[in-house]
Copies of this chain bind each other. A is one copy, B any other.
Amino acid sequence: MLQPPPAAPGMREEDIDTPALLIDLDAFEHNLDRMAALLADGGARLRPHAKTHKSPVIAALQAARGAVGQCVQKVAEAEVLAWGGVRDILVSNEVVGAAKLARLAALAPIAQVRVCIDDRAGIAAVERAARDAGQRLGVLVEIDVGAGRCGVAAGPAAVELAQAIAASPHLRFDGLQAYHGKAQHLRLPEQRREAIAEAADHARRTVEQLRQVGLDCPIVGGAGTGSFVLEAASGVYTELQAGSYCFMDADYARNLDEAGQPVTLFRHALFVLATVMSAARPGVAVLDAGHKAVAVDSGLPLVWQRPDLRYVGASDEHGTLAVASETAAPKPGEKLRLVPGHCDPTVDRHDWYVGVRGGRVACLWPVAARGAMA
């Protein structure tokens, strides 16, 4: 059952039912514009990751600012985007299973769809699905550039897979997927620089070896919000897959720049609005938003613009705040904004975005691909 929206356009922010997922539209648009400006030099292009926002509406706002298409992790996400008007979609990892691949191929008449592989069995499976659907699908070879998760080794092993793709009648070799997930959250700029330099070397070497066997590599994709400036400057990456930049979570805000300060390219634009439901004990207030409402896998949320309040404990439906001694405890009924530790899974907990501007609800957008995990 879809949950009813917690707000209606025109309503004041303090009247929104809680927990609710808020987008501060001014900060959000700043982030979209900022990214477009950063990439305006015409080098690598942005293919934002929809695993963050799960919304065709947001995809359209990104496309209007120059995004070349969207990334997704799951076929179910690709479906929601394609049905919602997105015309260029990369599934940025492997898809296993005939039923899933058939669903992906069934989208090809309405969208350019691409998928990654990292072994020969994967190539055969995608070829079968494309053939059965009477379609030709674009395929990227995923190479492991240091993340140690999916991906074949860079170099000859990857070239071999690319050749097998190129030789498949219903497939087209479109390039390399070279994402270094772990690098996104390395705190120090020199750590991120080193990790991405290594990733770019792997990709560069593989592109050269592909050229030597006569294979063009139109796409080299990767990068995220924590490192995209480095991939953009590498001269190797052609598509940047940052997702979180539009919202910015508390964890990305812990990355430091060259001056040892938090990186501030983007603003916090995503919040979980919560209500104090109990303040029966001194020094403590309890919110109606626990880890079913705000993801805690990358740390607890922060209380927005309230340095006197610390979110110290998340249970399923309760969040416990420690109240600094010099402060009057917030009273039951008081509403507070939380900055999620991690945006992507927080968004996935909610059915609706509530867009706010100037203290009022400006729009409601469905989290259309919420739970689209298949």
Which positions in A face B, CB cutoff 8 Å?
A: 1-3, 6, 17-20, 51, 73-74, 76, 80, 93-97, 99-100, 118-119, 121-122, 144, 148-153, 181, 275-281, 284, 286, 288-289, 291-293, 295-297, 314-318, 320, 331-333, 344-345, 348-351, 366, 368-374
> Which residues of chain B are within 8 angstroms of A366 by Cβ–Cβ distance?
1
In the complex, what's the smallest C-beta–C-beta distance from A213 to chain B, in angstroms?
21
Q: Which residues of B contact A94 (CB under 8 A)?
A: 277-278, 332
Are B121 and A373 neighbours in the complex by a CB distance under 8 Å? no
Q: A96-B332, A317-B51 are in contact. Are A373 and B293 (CB under 8 A)?
A: yes
Contact A96 B277 (CB under 8 A): yes
Q: Are A315 and B371 in contact (CB under 8 A)?
A: no
Contact A280 B144 (CB under 8 A): yes
Residues in B whose Cβ lies below 8 Å from that of A351: 371
**Chain B neighbourhood of A96, CB < 8 A:** 275-277, 288, 332-333
Give 5 CB contacts A-B under 8 Å.
Answer: A51-B317, A93-B318, A97-B333, A118-B280, A121-B332
- In this complex, what residue of B is CB-closest to A367? B1
Beta-carbon contact of A99 and B17 below 8 Å: yes
The answer to whether A297 and B314 have CB atoms under 8 Å apart is yes
A interface secondary structure, majority: loop
Beta-carbon contact of B97 and A144 below 8 Å: no
* A288 vs B350: C-alpha distance when bound (angstroms): 21
- Cα–Cα distance between A119 and B372 once the two chains are bound (Å): 41
Interface centre among A80, A344, A373 (most CB of B within 10 A): A373
Q: Which residues of B contact A292 (CB under 8 A)?
A: 344-345, 348, 373
A97 touches B348 (CB 8 A): no
**Residues of B with C-beta under 8 A to A276:** 96
Residue of B nearest to A288 (CB): B96
A125 to chain B, nearest CB (A): 8
- Asked if residues B119 and A149 are in contact (CB atoms below 8 Å), the reply is no
B93, B100, B148, B281: the one contacting A148 at CB < 8 Å is B281
**A96 CB to nearest B CB, Å:** 5
Determine whether the beta carbon of B320 is less than 8 Å from that of A122: no
CB of B320 within 8 A of CB of A349, answer no
Q: Are B374 and A277 in contact (CB under 8 A)?
A: no
Question: Given contacts A2-B2, A374-B19, is CB(A317)–CB(B151) below 8 Å?
Answer: no
Check A316–B332 contact: CB distance below 8 A: no
Which B-chain residue is minimally distant from A1 (CB atoms)? B368
Q: Contact at A1–B278, with CB atoms within 8 Å? A: no
